Amino acid sequence: MQIERSVPFWLERRLFPLYVTLTFIFLFIPRLSLLGFFFASLATIHFVVGRTEKQLRKDVAIKWRHYEILMFNKEQTSLQLEVFGIDSLTRLGLEATLRLHTDGSVIFPEMDPLHPATFHATIDSDEALEIPIQTIRRGPAKFDEIIITVRLPWRMGVYLFTFDTYPAFTVLPSLTAQAMPLLLQRLRLGERPDRYSPLKNKLVQLGAKPYTAEPSKEIDWYATAKTGRLQTKVFDTSNQDTFTIALNLSGPSGYGLHQQYEIFIEQTAFLISELLKEGCKIELFLNRLDTLNKMTQLAMKEGQPQLKHVLMLLSTLSTRDVYVATQQFDRYVTRQKYVNSQLIKIECNKIALLS
């Protein structure tokens, strides 16, 4: 903790010895004793202010209680902040105000809408403060300013208490269902795209057969057009449980960061969470270079630990990262992916499920 004080020039520390000296000089000189009493008053005020400052340095402190360092985007919660030494301020007749400021990834929803990243309140007791917060942006988030202001009476000065320890958070991508318009397409060897979802449809079309008495919705019009005879689809239950997710954040040209990359990140997080809920195994490739100048990837695993690793990785993505071009990324994924896994590509406003 550090204390900065702003006081009138006549209360500067260097003047206290001068006031004491002038008091003894003028107090015992006839006709100048009033001037001696004046300097004695200044010295007394100076002494009281100094003692007050020492008391504040000894008593005032803060402690954060019960807050989670991992939060999802758009999540709301409350922080508990305990401020010590307020009873001492009350006995001295002093008023304290608290000011918090964040880096913009976290806001205070109950504060001024024009300045949502700033919180201010008057502190009048040692009871813990409940401070509502809301995350608004994925990635690292923190407080960058915590100040307690104490004002002395009669405008004799202001004390600013600043603190070195700030709460820090990691904001994970949202896992809300609306983040995932499930538009999975299964592209079959250059043929027509066929809508298929590994989450909502457990049946996979194996082929076609001559029509007998099946419902009209099961007619395979594509096969019918090729053979010249009415054909129906043949389905089988899918036992696919290993998936390779390839997240490409490059723009439509194949280079640079896509302007909707945040949507891609949320779609990837939601899709992986749903697949892991179904007991699937997941590996993840990103077209970002890591600190070793290698393609970013997570090995094939399953369960909640894998979901946590995925969310933590996605939370670190930044516009300052280096991203690999689309063609180079596709070749890398094709070579490195798990042999028997189903490849799902997320790129340029589409999610493609590839055989």
- List, for residues 276-291, the tens digit of each pLDDT value: 988 889 999 999 998 8
Q: How confident is the model at residue 259 (pLDDT cuts 50, 70, 90)?
A: confident
> Which pLDDT belongs to residue 182?
44
- List, for residues 209-248, the tens digit of each pLDDT value: 888 888 877 888 888 888 888 888 876 555 568 899 999 9
> Which pLDDT belongs to residue 72?
93
Mean pLDDT score of the chain: 83
> Which pLDDT belongs to residue 91?
77
How far are the Cα atoms of 91, 128, 352, 355 from residue 327, in angstroms, in the given order? Answer: 71, 55, 16, 18
The SS3 call for residue 236 is strand
> Which pLDDT belongs to residue 49?
82
Over range 258-287, report the average pLDDT.
90
pLDDT beyond 90 at 2: no
pLDDT beyond 50 at 189: no
Helices within the chain (DSSP H only):
16-27, 33-59, 86-91, 221-227, 261-277, 303-315, 326-336
Question: Contact at 8 Å (CB) between 96 and 123?
Answer: yes
Range with the poorest average pLDDT among 12-16, 38-42, 69-73: 12-16
- List, for residues 129-155, the tens digit of each pLDDT value: 899 999 999 999 999 889 998 888 777
Q: How confident is the model at residue 184 (pLDDT cuts 50, 70, 90)?
A: very low
pTM comes to 0.72
- List, for residues 296-348, the tens digit of each pLDDT value: 999 999 999 999 999 999 999 998 999 999 999 999 999 999 888 888 888 87
- List, for residues 6-36, the tens digit of each pLDDT value: 777 777 888 888 888 888 888 777 777 888 8
pLDDT beyond 70 at 53: yes
Q: How confident is the model at residue 183 (pLDDT cuts 50, 70, 90)?
A: very low
Residue 240: name the closest of 197, 187, 298 by CA.
197
pLDDT beyond 80 at 352: no
Give the number of other Cβ atoms within 10 Å of residue 172's Cβ. Answer: 22
Pairing of strands 139-151, 95-102: antiparallel
> Which pLDDT belongs to residue 128?
84
Residues 6+ apart with CB under 8 A from 262: 138
- List, for residues 82-104, the tens digit of each pLDDT value: 888 887 777 777 888 999 999 98
